[in-house]
A and B are shown apart, each in its own frame.
Chain A
């Protein structure tokens, strides 16, 4: 539920209650005031009659109107105080019950007691009250509806900075190196929100940068000890006696150092790609790079009796030479490393995509896991660190390319779509 619909619900409920209570109170007050007004008219009538009797010592002539009637009745009842009463009478003419206000009092004319009743219809008063209350209710309804519409429009406008902020936050990417810039707001709450968010983002960016720097420094710091181990292993190799007895250990040390060093380099490279270290402004020729690479690996392939099929057309692109080389090298390395003796590598390049397919002893790979770091098929026996495809995917991601994998006719096909 939106904040302002919730607010509206409460607000409207309360308004209706208050207005209803107000209407009731208004009705009663109005009723009371008008009745008093009526009573005053009746009282002035009474004083006129009393005055007349005092002056003329006889009953006044009665002029009845449809609105007001006066009646004198002889009575022997004891003297009575002035009384007001409200009565309901059946009106023949209108065929309905009407309310009357009746004032009754006693007068004495020439020793004879009379009961005087002055009756005035309450109909008009009631009608007036009804009209006034109806108008009031109408006004209240209009006020509530107008208020609702205004709230809707105004609140939407007032909350706009909030939605702007939310939009900016969803667009925000930590790795993109663009700091979170939130607009200023004249509303204190939004200004506070934006300021706090900007502060938080700033802190996160700082921590992120520290972490990145730490990772990169850690990887760099590892290179020197690795160099020490590698050089010591090579020194040990030169000692005939040691070599005789420990050649297996030394070879293992050398290979492990090599592996660790490659792993380190790959992780550093990944970090660099993620940090957008490479600018995508160079014009490169994919076909030339591929031909060059094929030449480089030609003897590797021929020693493994791998048949290479090439189908390339000239393709130029604005990219980064180093990154292009990384894509090609990694895909070629995989195609060669996981190939089988007497296998095949198919390379196809068009303006839209580059496909490198190869035979392998491995079955189809898990598409979901292609490109995830350190993923290697469980049956993999060839050495490797499981970072090659992650690097390719990362490069594709920053270039806006797409890396796709398919397994067709026992060929593992890696396709880089340039669009």
Chain B
């Protein structure tokens, strides 16, 4: 008698067919990329509008959904402290822009919606490998530890040194989907010490439930006593939506991406033209109902 309503309530907890649940594709939800060499600063040609096309130690990988929806995945890698400032860059697929809502917008503005279904997001964390609680390639962890004070009260100790800025420069935040993320770690007095970086999955693209991303580590300057990050935007790493080269079950459905990213990096006029010619790839064009 009592069990029927209880069962009815429990049915509400079934998430198997949840439309918001990513599809389990066979692409691993946790991966480790091994040790990345720190790329020399002189490979960054323009400090204020940098791009990186060298082969250096940029790695591409992909992340899928876990079988257990309660588990969070991510990609980890290591680098060795140089004694200087090291900048970590991670670019998740794909590109992100905001359609211009101004009724007077012209071709120099974004006239198409971003296709949000192909965008994923991962958040950067990093610090000394000794503090990392995860098992690389098996399960992700954190850079936190617990301190129990003399009264028996637990407090969290934070060892994350990778402090990213949000979209628009918001301090101590992570930019959103499709947008590259960067942080700088000062490795002074820690030459030869190993650091771990974690790109923790925040969201998988809706279209294929597989998040492609690119990562790299670079030397950067120290001025006036603090590390200076170079500017990173969508065009720093190219073709991050390519399928991971080592992960099994790679998807090959991003053939359009290099052309779209080229158009994006050329500016709104080229992107508008690309979207006009490829209506299935971008979002809807502006209409009078858009604003």
Specify whether A and B are partners: no
Chain A residues within 8 Å of B, Cβ to Cβ: none
Chain B residues within 8 Å of A, Cβ to Cβ: none
